[in-house]
């Protein structure tokens, strides 16, 4: 049996169906489906995507295609009673692309095929309007010239401008220079048949001049060339670029739809419009759309004429389709309801009314805001249209952050002066301050402040806390500023490289592309940043407040029945722990103990410890820290009420805790009773060329075992206290930066010994686990041996990305964007896990770990724990949990549920819905 | 059949043989072998290592052991005609440990077993000397008390001191306080029978006091306890430590040798001595050793009496064994010759002459200097004793560096004031200078200088070139100073952390363990450093010059027939290339192009390139560099005469080329016609937190493609020029720091395009290859995909170690030594490849690469390429070559040959030799 290349459709009957979008493309499949439903679509046929794939593989169209196309056209002639190329009663067709996945505007379309100098006369006669016929003809010539013959669109402009000038002169108008202004005062609709005939003549000349040949009068020559052009357009640069951006495989190919032309511009009984079955920005269930009388589809979008509402509205009385063509409106309302019921999703429709007859030209799942997507999904469940599991799948998890944070109001129309990395989401406005001290001082006065720094360091922590938002000129998505800001839930734009920050004069200048200063702001000036988009604005810009919303809460509830993976949070304080629980975290996957060290009262003891000359002096300083840490852990354990809390032992290099500025160094020296020179000497001793690869993590624990000992003592004392209060406590103690088995065993010895000591002293026992971060390639490669001593592993994918790719998160800003742009890298690997490289190590480590300890608990606690694509990868590896910033927990919960369904057998596959995303 | 636990030996007959050292230990196996050869050894038996292993596994000795020991003793009584425990004719035995691998002094020995208050009388009668008998008895008591009963050796001192005092008083000598001085004026030999009887009595008391029990008079009780004590000593702390240091498995166990005592201290017809069959320090073939008349073995070693030469010598006429006991000497010469012939290696013998009868107590392969090992191995081949392949196996490759560099003369007896990392071998003396400029200035005056720096940077390069040696306070074995020094062949001690360097006052202080200053030197003071040992001396210390030597050349020649792997060199200049060829390198495995950038004339153009505002200005600066690079490559291609040259494209981050000091910054600004502020701004822009993981390697090539383009152009122009001269050229262009496939393909595009351009312009074509470094874990994990575009891979194990272990080579000094000491790490992973972690990635990458491209050329160009253990690992993976500093090439050649034999089937296994190392 030969392969069928052409699939026909007409109301009530079609060769294809919605499910065959791989073969027919999205547009073609849905046209077929509508036809099957008996919805009035202009009859036509779809040439399959396989033809396109063939063409791109072999360079030629399949042999049988011309015959099947001609048979299709013969069938169309029969169904419409018109003839292709007939002077008396010409059939006109459109040729449109239609890929499996929508690629709006990326590929080409040719309308009005079948017109030539003779048939245009027939069209004029049949339609009763010469103007209409020549208008269609000149559109064909321009589109064919551009799409099929490759003539620059601009080449056709002069003739049109000349025609407009003529009309303007005839009407006695002043002729403006700018073509846009001219078009505004002389719209196309004001061009008469005579002008349009001249335009047509001029267009013929343009085509002859550019191609050396006349425009092909033969309708089949037109049709074949147009079909070929659409297939070719699959590989035009903008389509390729779009596919790369949207991860659409190059070998899918596009289908081609050949369809009878219908016209919305045949007079007052004709119209055209677009509609959504629900409100795409709020999700509200109401039929919603716009239309224009006596117009072509492109006129609604072009914005030359103001479209009118479909439904009756008080502010535009008499304008609506409901009022002007009540019967067609009723028909349309009926159709849209059937379509939504049929496709089980909000539909985006295009329709044309030709001389009182309604035609549907397209239906597809409508684009919508994140908030609308949640509301629609949840309400469709309530309406019985969807299964709850299916509703979860209808939401784009990566866009949910829009719900969780305030955003710059797009209606404000403000222009950003600079862009950086969207490091911590949310929009916020405040006065610019340039130091942590100023941030605190101004905040105490009750002002909202944005802390602006070249980069932040742990010393800025109190200022970051006081600020409403953070803006830095350096650093990436996982820089100090970004990580801390996310943990605190502060909006942050990082690595805004156009920004030149001068801490001395307390001003910041924004450099444009040419290097000149395009904006400037100083201490006290209001600025607005949007950490969801990375944009920076000078002045106050209106924002839309955040709200999870009732529908989102409902959706999140549903995820619990579906997801395999738990979602934990990275939280360092009782406040963050509470926040995390509110968002539904099932535990703390990463509690960074060092963040507890920066409070004013504590940092002095930390520095005393660092400057200690020997273990004894170090022990004295550590003893001062013990009660603070104990208190912190008590608060966290209470907040988590028996949920697991994974506590990481001290991780950063000690020099991060020492002051950097001269005045602070002298202060410290005075406090400690040593010379400033001594302090400077220590700072210089601790300096590291590559601190990321330096003396940190468990390496500190090995060289200064007093430090983990104090921390572990604090953990167990806190656990005992809370246990005595009658609460459950589940401490999981995690060793950071492990690379050697001996590191883990020596820490485990300390932990087990201190546990026994504390339990004996407190007269109570608490179950605990000991595990390790896997954030060094060596640890991943030796996971089997490490697993002999660890009850859990947590993949620290931030550091694992740095070491596996050899890429410093703080320094990558100078080349990583160029990499992503050049397509060397699909995405910033600090945002979405590098599955081929870093992911391969995670896979190796998971396999090896399970070989030693089949029930080992495996999780991810890097920033990737909040990224849907990375979460999907974790699901595939069968990890137990992901852990992310509290504010990303809802996103992660949805993503985890989606991943579980994607890689399991979702219950709703059995339902009747006709399209799947 | 029950397992045999006891193996007997007597001259002419033994149950065991030399090959059974696993079972009998080295000592026991060789005693058996000597016995089989008919060499006079005192009869005895060996208890197997299996007994020891049993004991350590089960905590008990095997059931049959007491019986077999008693049968062995009965046999000994029969062979000697004496009885164990007999008063009339007592048999005395020694109990000695003897492990498979020699562990000198680590385990215990008990002599003279069988003596008690009665048998001592019989010994006195039989020997005719009461003094002799009681001397033996008191030795037994002290040794038994110490080894078997665990009484501190010091407990036995007072009695001996009292006896010595008595003798001194009797002789009217002034009694010195210090026991050593007393022993010198009253040697043990001057203690009479009466004194010794008192000592014996006192020793009995010590034993009773410490154990609450008397010394066991029952000889079998003595013997069983001594055997048990030796087995127990396998697990004493010093033995465990020794095993860990020497990588001897804990489960090997030791054998125990029970042997008839013979005495060299029975009067003038008795003697004892040690001998080597060849000179252990030069390797010269001459019988060589020392002896003492009327002495016990330990006296020769103890140094109380000055031993005499064995052979007649003019400077000690009448002293030699040859003159005093010519017949015994002749017998010994005959035996040593037989032993060497038999064991096919230089032997280290112990002998005793008891009342005119010669006994051999031990033979083993003698320890020797590296130089001696080479000479002996080569001469033994010439003598027909060894096969050349076997000779290669006889050399310890890791010790060969002793031959290649001058060393501090041990005879000078100088004491080091500080120790650092032995970063680049060789000893050198010169005046201390504290800056590169001073180094140049002083060197121009003709002085030998040692450049002393806190650390070095590329700016110090001209100073390092001018200096004879380099000493730094910071940095490890692969720090800048170390890497550059090795490349230049300059001795270097790095990371000498006791050193406090003050560049301003041009002085350095050495801090002792307590922190006090123990030494100090200033600009112009003479110091000596030994980069082979890491030692630093104040003042001029005599050195021994380096010389490869004729024998080494011969040995190296032989390696060529055996080795599978090629040995290439890391060489950056024509001079280094020539040096590398002299040492037998078969190509350049790593030519670091950036080292060519630091010459005074060039650095200006490099900096101009970095400061360039756009690609155009960058191109202008690069054009200036082109002729320099072309010239460099021509020189290298000519020097290598057709051998492959692997050239790595620019690797280090650009900031390494910018000046650091204010004056230089201003100079640069003036030269470039920009403000110093601009330069500082650029330096600050290029600053990186973790330069190791920053904008370097191929990342520079991706962002600034003009740079690799210039370098590649220079390579092909040079290649064409040299090819036109009629020479062969084999450029292999290597992309550094590759992590993504797109990086490699984009560089390959540039390389292939420029090659075509240059070949067309020059009218000649040159074959070339394109490959990649594998120095990032991601690259190793994706080696299969990278191999689609690479003809070779070179493992950059320095950087791969840094990223895989997450360990900065420059910062690891603060904790790595502590790790090695604590046994967390077997060795510095920058010195010897971390086979479990980094090695695993090399293995994965090799396998994956070969899957894509079975004939891909794989090599290692990290410093590990010169480390024998790492080379052995590379052989196991089947790599094609290793590449190392020119000065390490000979070591690598020997190591490669040894590795090939170890993992292949060496041809000499068929020969008759009786021991293998």
Q: Which of residues 769-828 of A touch B (CB under 8 A)?
A: 775-778, 781-782, 799, 802-808, 810-812, 814-815, 818-819, 822-825
Taking CB atoms and an 8 Å cutoff, what residues of chain A touch B737? 806
Contact map slice: B 151-210 vs A, CB within 8 A: none
C-beta atoms of B699 and A815 within 8 A: yes
What's the half-sphere exposure (Cβ side, CA atoms, 13 Å) at A34? Answer: 28
Report pLDDT for B302.
Answer: 60
Token reading at A654: 């000690």
Whole-number Cα distances in Å, B602 to A3, A31, B285, B624, B657: 68, 69, 55, 8, 11
Considering only alpha carbons, which residue of chain B is nearest residue A698?
B815
B804 and A802 in contact by Cβ < 8 A?
Answer: no
Contact B818 A688 (CB under 8 A): no
Locate tokens 């054009």: which residue?
Answer: B623
Chain A residues in contact with B804 (beta carbon < 8 A):
776-778, 781, 803
Nearest to A824 among B743, B775, B802 (CB): B743
pLDDT of residue B915: 42
Whether residue B692 and residue A689 make contact (CB cut-off 8 A), yes or no, is yes
A695, A777, A841 member nearest B815 (Cβ): A695
Q: With an 8 Å Cβ cutoff, is B546 touching chain A?
A: no
| CA distances, B854 to each of B502, B789, B857 (Å) | 55, 13, 9
**Helix, coil or strand: residue B772:** strand
Distances (CA, A) of A231 to A147, A238, A361, B114, B766: 11, 14, 21, 105, 43
Residue among A483, A689, A750, A776 with most chain B CBs within 10 A, to mutate = A689
Give the residue-averaged pLDDT of B466-485. 84
Point out the residues of B that are catalytic: 480, 861
Could A781 and B837 be called an inter-chain contact, meaning their C-beta atoms sit closer than 8 Å?
yes
Contacts of B777 in chain A (CB under 8 A): 777, 803-806, 837, 841
User: Residue A471 is encoded by which pair of tokens?
Assistant: 């803006």
Give B694's contacts in chain A (Cβ within 8 Å): 808, 811-812, 814
| A742: closest chain B residue by CA | B824
| pLDDT of B106 | 67
Say whether A808 and B703 touch across the interface (CB within 8 A).
no
Classified as helix, coil or strand, B565 is coil
Q: Which residues contact B637 (CB under 8 A, 6 or more apart)?
A: B645, B718, B719, B722, B727, B729, B731
The contacts of residue B98 (CB under 8 Å, 6+ apart) are B24, B25, B26, B27, B28, B46, B254, B255, B256, B257
What is the predicted pLDDT for the residue at B361? Answer: 94
Which pLDDT value is given to residue A497? 84
Supply the pLDDT for residue A303: 57
Interface test with A, best of B509, B610, B737, B778 (most A CBs within 10 A): B778
A703, A739, A822: residue with CB nearest B806 = A739
Please give the structure tokens belonging to residue A368: 């919508």
Q: What pLDDT score was predicted for residue B101?
A: 82
Contact A762, A729 (CB under 8 A): no
Token output for A607: 């520095």
Q: How many residues are there in chain B?
A: 917
| Rounded (5°) CA angle B243-B246-B251 | 40
CB contact under 8 Å between A804 and B814, yes or no, is: no
CA distance A501 to A527: 14
The H-or-E segment that residue A580 falls in is helix A574-582
3-state secondary structure A37-76: CCCCCCCEEEECHHHHHHHHHHCCCCCCHHHHHHHHHHHH
Contact in structure between A463 and A440 (CB atoms under 8 Å): yes
What is the per-residue pLDDT for A909?
41
Please tell me the number of Cα atoms within 13 Å of B599 on its side-chain side: 10
- Spell out the alpha helix ranges (H) of A130-192: 130-147, 157-171, 179-185
What was the pLDDT predicted at B453?
93
DSSP A83: B
Maximum Cα–Cα distance for chain A, whole Å?
A: 106
Burial class (CB in 10 A: 0-12, 13-18, 19+), B321: buried
Do B806 and A782 count as a contact with CB atoms less than 8 A apart?
no
Taking CA–CA distances from B741, the nearest residue in chain A reads: A824
Coil, strand, or helix at residue B887?
helix
Chain A and chain B share a number of CB contacts under 8 A equal to: 172
> Is pLDDT at B178 greater than 80 in this prediction?
no
Q: In the 3-class helix/strand/coil scheme, how is A271-312 assigned residue by residue?
A: EEEEEECCCCCCCCCCCEEEEEECCCHHHHHHCCCCCEECCC
Residue pair A364/A34 in contact (Cβ under 8 Å)? The answer is no
User: Closest residue of A to B737, CA-based?
Assistant: A806
Of B695, B808, B818, the CB nearest to A690: B808
Yes or no, beta carbons of A818 and B703 under 8 Å apart: yes
Q: What pLDDT does A423 receive? A: 82
Query: CA B724 → CA B628, B717, B764, B862, distances in Å?
Result: 19, 11, 8, 33
The pLDDT of residue B103? 76
Task: Please indicate if any CB of chain B lies within 8 Å of the CB of A379.
Answer: no
C-alpha–C-alpha distance, residues A338 and A330, integer Å: 12
Distance from CA of A705 to the nearest CA of B (A): 12
- Is the model's pLDDT at B910 over the cut of 60? no
| DSSP string of B654-707, one letter each residue | GGGGS--SHHHHHHHHHHHTS-HHHHHHHHHHH--SSGGGSS-THHHHHH-THH
Min distance B689 CA to chain A CA atoms (Å): 7
**pLDDT of B908:** 44
Do the Cβ atoms of B778 and A815 come within 8 Å? no
Express each pLDDT in B496-527 by its tens digit.
888 889 888 999 999 876 778 889 999 999 99
Distance, C-alpha A205 to centroid of its chain: 47
Q: What is the CA radius of gyration of chain B?
A: 33
The alpha-carbon gap from B822 to the nearest alpha carbon of chain A, in Å, equals: 9
Do A518 and A417 form a contact (C-beta atoms < 8 A)? yes
* pLDDT band per the 50, 70, 90 thresholds, residue B860: very high
Read off the pLDDT of each residue in B361-369 and give the average, rounded to a whole number: 89
| DSSP β-ladder status, A271-276 and B357-365 | unpaired
Residue ranges of A 662-701 with Cβ closer than 8 A to chain B? 688-695, 699
- What are the E-state strand segments in B27-178? 44-47, 93-99, 109-113
Widest Cα–Cα separation across chain B = 106
Question: What SS3 class is residue B306?
Answer: coil
| Residues near A441 by beta carbon (within 8 Å), at least 6 away in sequence | none
Which residues between 841 and 870 in chain A have a beta carbon less than 8 angstroms from any beta carbon of chain B? 841
What share of chain B in percent tops pLDDT 70? 97
Chain A residues closer than 8 Å to B814 by CB: 694-695, 703
Q: Is residue B1 pLDDT above 60, yes or no?
A: no
Residue pair B258/B222 in contact (Cβ under 8 Å)? The answer is no
The pLDDT, as a whole number, for residue A865 is 95
Rounded Cα distance, A671 and A902, in Å: 59
Q: In what order do the strands lie in the sheet with B6-10?
A: B13-14, B6-10, B44-47, B254-260, B93-99, B109-113
Whole-Å CA distances, B195 to A450, B161, B179, B199: 93, 11, 17, 6
Contact across the interface for B837 and A805, Cβ inside 8 Å = no
- Residues of A belonging to the active site: 480, 861
**CB-closest option in A743, A799, A810 to B689:** A810
Q: What is the DSSP string of B401-468?
A: HHHHS-EE-GGG-PPPSEE-EEEE--EEEEEEE-SHHHHHHHHHTT--EEEEESS--GGGHHHHHH-S
Please provide the average confidence, as pLDDT, over all residues in chain B: 90
The distance from CA B60 to its chain's CA centroid, rounded to whole angstroms, is 38
B314, pLDDT greater than 50: yes
Six token digits for residue B585: 């390198």
* Low-confidence stretches of chain A (pLDDT beneath 70): 1, 104-106, 245, 301-304, 478, 513, 905-917
Tokens 């498995």 appear where?
B249
User: Which ipTM score applies to this complex?
Assistant: 0.80
- A739–B805 CB contact, under 8 Å: yes
How far does chain A reach from its first CA to its final CA, in angstroms? Answer: 32
Distance from CA of B798 to the nearest CA of A (A): 13
Structural contact between residues A28 and A35, judged by C-beta atoms closer than 8 angstroms: no
How high is the pLDDT of residue A331? 97
Query: What is the DSSP-derived secondary structure letter of residue B201?
Result: H
């Amino acid at each position: 049996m030969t392969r069928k290349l052409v699939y026909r459709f007409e109301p009530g009957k079609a060769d294809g169906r919605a499910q065959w979008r791989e073969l027919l493309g999205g547009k073609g499949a849905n046209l077929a489906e509508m036809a099957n439903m008996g919805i009035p679509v202009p009859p036509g046929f779809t040439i399959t995507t396989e033809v396109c794939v063939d063409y791109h593989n072999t360079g030629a169209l399949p042999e049988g295609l011309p015959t099947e196309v001609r048979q299709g056209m013969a069938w169309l002639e029969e169904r419409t009673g018109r003839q292709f190329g007939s002077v008396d009663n010409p059939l006109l067709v459109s040729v449109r692309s239609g890929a499996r996945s929508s690629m709006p505007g990326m590929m080409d379309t040719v309308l009005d095929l079948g017109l030539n100098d003779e048939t245009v006369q027939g069209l004029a006669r049949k339609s009763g309007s010469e103007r209409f016929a020549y208008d269609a003809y000149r559109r064909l010539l321009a589109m064919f010239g551009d799409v099929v013959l490759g003539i620059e669109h601009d080449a056709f402009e002069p003739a049109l401008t000349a025609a407009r000038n003529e009309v303007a002169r005839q009407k006695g108008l002043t002729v403006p220079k700018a073509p846009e202004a001219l078009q505004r005062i002389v719209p196309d609709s004001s061009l008469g048949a005579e002008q349009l005939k001249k335009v047509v003549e001029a267009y013929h000349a343009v085509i002859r001049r550019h191609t050396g040949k006349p425009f092909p009068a033969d309708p089949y020559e037109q049709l074949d060339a147009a079909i070929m052009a659409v297939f070719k357009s699959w590989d035009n640069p903008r389509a390729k670029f779009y596919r790369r951006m949207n991860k659409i495989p190059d070998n899918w190919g596009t289908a081609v739809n050949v369809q009878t032309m219908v016209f919305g511009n045949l007079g007052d009984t004709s119209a055209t419009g677009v509609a959504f079955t629900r409100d795409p920005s709020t999700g509200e269930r109401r039929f919603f759309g716009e239309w224009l009388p006596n117009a072509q589809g492109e006129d609604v979008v072009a914005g030359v004429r103001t479209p009118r509402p479909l439904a009756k509205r008080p502010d535009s009385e008499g304008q609506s389709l409901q009022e002007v063509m009540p019967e067609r409106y009723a028909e349309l309302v009926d159709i849209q309801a059937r379509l939504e019921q049929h496709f089980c999703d909000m539909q985006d429709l295009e329709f044309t009314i030709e001389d009182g007859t309604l035609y549907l030209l397209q239906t597809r799942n409508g684009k919508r805001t994140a908030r609308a997507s949640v509301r629609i999904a949840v309400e469709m469940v309530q309406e019985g249209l969807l299964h709850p599991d299916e509703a979860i799948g209808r939401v784009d998890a990566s866009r949910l952050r829009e719900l969780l944070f305030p955003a710059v109001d797009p209606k404000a129309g403000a222009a950003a002066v600079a862009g950086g990395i969207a490091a911590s989401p949310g929009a916020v406005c405040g006065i610019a301050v340039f130091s942590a001290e100023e941030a605190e001082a101004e905040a105490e006065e009750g002002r909202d402040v944005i802390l602006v720094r070249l980069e932040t360091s742990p010393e800025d922590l109190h200022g970051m806390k006081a600020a409403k938002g953070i803006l830095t000129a350096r650093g990436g998505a996982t820089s100090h500023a970004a990580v801390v800001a996310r943990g605190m839930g502060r909006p942050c734009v990082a690595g805004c490289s156009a920004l030149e920050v001068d801490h001395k004069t307390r001003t910041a200048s924004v450099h444009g592309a040419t290097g000149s200063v395009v904006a400037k702001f100083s201490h006290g000036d209001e600025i607005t940043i949007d950490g969801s988009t990375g944009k920076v604005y000078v002045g106050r810009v209106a924002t839309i407040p955040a709200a999870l919303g009732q529908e989102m809460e409902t959706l999140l509830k549903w995820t619990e029945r579906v997801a395999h993976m738990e979602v934990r949070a990275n939280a360092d304080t009782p406040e963050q722990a509470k926040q995390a629980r509110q968002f539904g975290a099932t535990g703390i996957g990463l509690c960074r103990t060092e963040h507890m060290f920066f409070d004013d009262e504590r940092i002095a003891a930390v520095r005393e410890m660092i400057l200690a000359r020997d273990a004894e002096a170090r022990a004295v300083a550590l003893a001062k820290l013990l009660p603070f840490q104990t208190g912190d852990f008590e608060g966290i354990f209470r907040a988590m009420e028996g949920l697991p809390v994974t506590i990481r032992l001290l991780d950063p290099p000690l020099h991060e805790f020492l002051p950097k500025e001269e005045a602070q160094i002298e202060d410290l020296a005075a406090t400690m009773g040593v010379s400033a020179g001594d302090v400077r000497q220590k700072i210089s001793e601790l300096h590291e060329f590559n601190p990321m690869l330096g003396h940190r993590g468990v390496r500190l624990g090995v060289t200064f075992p007093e430090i983990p000992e104090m921390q572990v003592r604090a953990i167990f004392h806190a656990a005992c206290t809370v246990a005595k209060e009658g609460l459950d406590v589940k401490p999981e103690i995690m060793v950071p930066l492990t690379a050697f088995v001996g590191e883990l065993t020596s820490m485990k010895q300390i932990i087990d010994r201190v546990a026994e000591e504390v339990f004996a002293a407190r007269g109570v026992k608490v179950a605990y686990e000991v595990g390790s971060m896997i954030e060094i390639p060596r640890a991943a490669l030796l996971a089997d041996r490490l697993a002999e001593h660890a009850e859990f592993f947590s993949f620290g994918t931030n550091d694992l990305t740095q070491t596996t790719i050899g890429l410093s998160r703080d320094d990558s800003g100078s080349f990583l964007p160029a990499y992503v742009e050049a397509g060397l890298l699909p995405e910033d690997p600090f945002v979405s896990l590098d599955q081929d490289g870093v992911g391969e190590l995670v896979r190796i480590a998971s396999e090896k770990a399970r070989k030693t300890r089949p029930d080992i608990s495996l999780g991810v606690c890097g920033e990737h724990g909040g990224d849907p694509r990375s979460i999907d990868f974790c699901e595939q590896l069968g990890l137990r949990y992901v852990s992310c910033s509290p504010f990303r927990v809802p996103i992660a919960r949805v993503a985890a549920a989606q991943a579980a369904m994607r890689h399991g057998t979702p219950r709703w596959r059995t339902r009747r819905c006709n399209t799947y995303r």
